[in-house]
Amino acid sequence: MKKHHEQVTKLEKKIKEAEHLTPEEKSLTLEKIAEWKLEDKAFSLLPLELEKLSEKITPILEEIGLL
């Protein structure tokens, strides 16, 4: 569980730093991650759900080893 938390934290940081995402895309993505954390969604679903939001997130997921 700790590893998942670390990966989600890393993912949030990379999304905030991503230059190829608009502020709106960043906000929506971070909002969804926060919701899923509260709902305690299975960590394995996060990458799939994020890809549905925007294909621009795929490089970030690949960079941090989630895809």
Q: Please compute the mean of the pLDDT values over residues 3-23 and round it to a whole number.
A: 88
Domain membership of residue 35 as a residue range: 2-63
Question: What was the pLDDT predicted at 42?
Answer: 61
Tokens 């502020």 belong to: 23
Question: What was the pLDDT predicted at 12?
Answer: 92
Q: Please compute the mean of the pLDDT values over residues 59-66 and round it to a whole number.
A: 83
Question: What was the pLDDT predicted at 40?
Answer: 67
Q: Is the dihedral of CA 49, 7, 9, 23 positive or negative?
A: negative
Q: What is the pTM of this model?
A: 0.67
Burial 15-34 (b: 16+ CB within 10 A, else e): beebeebeeebbeebeebbe
Total structural domains in the chain? 1
Question: What was the pLDDT predicted at 26?
Answer: 93
> Do residues 15 and 60 make contact, with C-beta atoms less than 8 angstroms apart?
yes
Nearest-angstrom CA–CA distance, 11 and 4 = 10
In the predicted model, what is the mean pLDDT of the chain?
83
